Amino acid sequence: MSDIVRVRDVMKSEVDMVDGMMRVSDALKMMRHVENKCLIVEKRHADDEYGMLLLSDLARHVLGEDRAPDRVNVYEVMAKPVISVDPEMDIRYCARLFDRFELSRAPVVERGKVVGVVSFTDLVMKGLLRDL
């Protein structure tokens, strides 16, 4: 039997946090700079939840609706709340969670703080292919 591969082992630990009040045009510049496919939207206060802005959200709600990126705020098009995963989760369960809720990626949260982002690509390329 092989060792358990955990989300922590395959996640991206470089996370880009943005404020929900940021304009989409500024968020796009940030995404292009780090070649990232999502941004984590910071909590506004202790009882708030994290949000996430995906390229697909921008395609649907900004490009598809012909809205000007410099006139739309992140909070208007982000997903919130988002399903997060624990860094100690077995990647097999993470893959099942992604499938069940039709997710492509999720923030990795430990003790209430985002410590990474994990995607289906990470699960397969860094997890499944690791032993092949």
Residue 2 lies inside a defined structural domain of this protein: no
pLDDT digits (tens, 9 = 90+) for 18-57: 999 999 999 888 876 676 789 999 999 999 999 999 989 9
pLDDT confidence of residue 39: 92
- For the chain, the domain total comes to 1
Is the pLDDT higher at 32 or at 116?
116
Show the domain range for 105: 7-131
- Alpha-helical regions (H) of the chain: 7-10, 24-34, 55-58, 74-77, 91-100, 120-122
Enter the DSSP assignment of 92: H
3-class DSSP assignment, residue 26: helix
Closest CA to 105 of 47, 59, 36: 36
Residue 1 lies inside a defined structural domain of this protein: no
Least confident range from 9-18, 66-75, 95-104: namely 9-18
In CATH, what number is assigned to the domain containing residue 19?
A: 3.10.580.10
- Write the CB contacts of 48 (distance below 8 Å, at least 6 apart in sequence): none
